[in-house]
Amino acid sequence: MSITGYARVSTADQDPASQVEALRAAGCDPIYIDHASGSTMERAQWAECNRSLGRGDTLVVVRIDRLGRSLVDLVDTLDNLHARGIQFRSLDEKIDTSTALGRMFYQLAGAFAEYERTLISERTRAGLDAARKAGRQIGRPPALTEEQKASARQLHAQGHSIAAIARVLGVSRATIRRTIAKMR
């Protein structure tokens, strides 16, 4: 059972020394340090740290925002750690998932993240509905115009291969197959 520390600073010119000192004082060994933005979970040292953690280990950060900025990312990370039997501690916020209070925080964070995902989904749906009402096409534009579709069907009826039709129209063979299938 190891106590693993994770420190992150956003830029290469920022110094993680104070985080490393606090993590060492909390008994962390090893300590992983990233010089990367918190806006993404795709960080080299985080990936290595996460791979090194096993059942019964504890991950420690100085502040919860060092792990990630988005509540959704934080909850997903905490869910993953929890499912693998790994405890989590944040020194500044006094969060410790091995305690009842820490587990309550974890559950509250999950509820807030679910609420945030619902709000984002509702805003997206409202935006799409407004765009449709305004007559804008949603999604990718069609690969072929109606005229091109008619030409593809006519060429196919004349015995031209799907590959040849696709080359002439500058689209994939799958597009031509779908166009012809809709004709039947």
Q: Which residues are catalytic?
A: 10
The CA distance from 177 to 184, in Å, is: 11
Backbone φ/ψ region at 27: left (φ over 0), alpha (ψ -120 to 50), beta: left
Q: Give me the residue label for tokens 């009826």.
A: 157
Q: Are 53 and 81 in contact (CB under 8 A)?
A: yes
Order of strands, sheet of 31-35, starting from the edge strand that comes earlier in the sequence = 31-35, 3-9, 58-61, 87-90, 95-96
